[in-house]
Each structure stands twice: as structure tokens, then as C-alpha cells.
Amino acid sequence: MRVVLLTLMSGAALLGCTDSRAAEVARAPQQASVASAGDLAARFVSHPENIQPGMVKPYAGRVMVNPYEGNASAAATGAKLFVSYNCIDCHGADGSGAMGPSLADGRWHFGGTPGEVFESIYQGRPEGMPAWGSLIADDQVWMLVSYVRGLQANKNVTTENFAGKTVERTGH
């Protein structure tokens, strides 16, 4: 069971920016039955944050590349998709968080590389992030990646100093 699940995930990693994802994923369990452990490992995405036991050299998984990296018009389309797919009402109008976590604070719960953000959108995440890979095309996921990765500038505030601030207060 675990092998099948991992294969589905790695299928997501392999397919890159095609529109035929659904068909490929549907075939994935069949691939699992013939894949060797080595084949599977080569398909996994590399997560830079992962701890490597024994401090061995970083695990060499695939690096997923956003075909729209640096493409402003794709990011602009991503912004529209962010509204159309109701992302806005979970993550906030400016992506700064509401029901769901902020995407604009530069702090990523599941990694902030393009591949990791792709995975978060495609597969979903445990606390209610839907698995959008079943509904929307890969190129749209990548446009969303372009948009949300562009939100994080200058909002990672490590220190807030409240001293000396004049605060208007009514009541006590």
C-alpha cells in the first residue's frame, strides 16, 4: 500500500507541465508493481529541509522546475486562478492568511521551493489543504506556484518592538 502511495506521489513529480496528468496518475499503480526500489527513489522530489541521517550527502531526488519561473504573465494568471479556485478565502485576499496559513510571510510549513509548493497544491496537505491535482491542470498549478511564491517579499518580520509606540485606547 505504501509503495502505491509513494508511486502516485512520484508520478506527480515526474510529469511536469503536461495536461495529461490524470491519465498518467491512473496508470501509476501498474507501474508500481514493476518498479524497483532504485527506480522509485529516482522519482522522489528532493526536499532541501530534510534531515539526512548520518549527515550523508543530500539525498538526490529530482528537482522540479517551474516552466513559468520568472514569467510575470503566468504569475498574473495565477493571481486570477487564486480567486477562481477559492484559494483567496482560505489564504486571505493578499495571501497573508485567514482560515489557512499565510503564504506571504516567507515561512513555508512544507517547503518553499517551486517543487515543494507544487506538491502542496497538487497533493494537498494534512490540515485541510485540498489535493488540487485531481481537479486542475498542471500548468495551472505551476501558475499558482508562480503567484504564491511571489507574495513573500519583505513580510518575514522576526522582531516586533512594541516599546515607545503611542497607542490610542478607549476604555480602561
Partner 1 sequence: MRNARVVMLAVAVTACAKGADTTGDSANGHPAAVQTVSGATIAAPRAGPAGEWSLPAGDYSNSRYSELDQITAANVKGLHAAWTFSTGVLRGHEGSPLVVGNTMYIVTPYPNVSYALDLATEGQPLKWKVRPENAQQAVGLACCDVVNRGASFDNGKIFYNLLDGHTVAIDAASGKLLWQTKMGDLSRGETMTMAPLAVKGKVIVGSSGGEMGVRGWVAAIDQATGKEVWRAYNVGPDADIKVGPRFKQFYKPADAGANAAQHSWPGDSWKQGGATVWGWISYDPVLNLVYHGTSNPGPWNGNQRPGDNQWSAAIIARDADTGEMVWAFQPTPHDIWDYDGVNENILVDLPMGGTTRKALVHFDRNGFAYTMDRATGEVLVAKPFVPMNWASEVSLKTGRPTMNPDKMPASGKKITFICPSLEGGKNQQPAAFSPATGLFYVPTNNLCMDFEAREVTYIAGTPYIGGNAPEVAGPGGYKGEFIAWDATTGRKMWGIKEPFPVWGGGLATKGDVVFYGTLDGWFKAANARTGEVLWKFKVGSGVVGNPISYLGPDGKQYIAIYAGIGGDMGLLIAGDVAANLPFDVRERGSTLPDLARWTSWGGMLFVFSLN
CB of 6 to partner 1, least distance (A): 20
> Are the C-beta atoms of 75 and 64 separated by less than 8 Å?
no
Determine if 85 is a binding residue for partner 1 (CB under 8 A): yes
Determine if 112 is a binding residue for partner 1 (CB under 8 A): no
CB of 160 to partner 1, least distance (A): 7
Given the rule CB under 8 A, which of 11-19, 54-62, 111-119, 154-162 is the region that contacts partner 1? 154-162
Show the cell assigned to 137. 491542470
User: Which residue's CB is nearer to partner 1, number 36 or number 154?
Assistant: 154
12 CB burial (10 A radius; 0-12, 13-18, 19+): buried
Given the rule CB under 8 A, which of 19-27, 52-60, 80-88, 137-145 is the region that contacts partner 1? 80-88
| AA identity, residue 101 | P
**Interface pick for partner 1 out of 33, 36, 52, 170 (rule CB under 8 A):** 170
> Are the C-beta atoms of 4 and 32 separated by less than 8 Å?
yes
CB of 56 to partner 1, least distance (A): 28
Determine if 105 is a binding residue for partner 1 (CB under 8 A): yes
- Measured CA to CA, the distance from residue 31 to residue 7 in angstroms comes to 8
> Are the C-beta atoms of 28 and 134 separated by less than 8 Å?
no
Q: How many CB atoms lie within 10 A of CB 156?
A: 10
User: Which residue's CB is nearer to partner 1, number 44 or number 85?
Assistant: 85
**Residue position matching grid coordinates 502505491:** 4
DSSP at 48? T
List of residues contacting partner 1 (CB under 8 A): 83-87, 89-90, 93, 96-102, 104-107, 109, 125-130, 135, 155-158, 160, 162, 165, 167-172
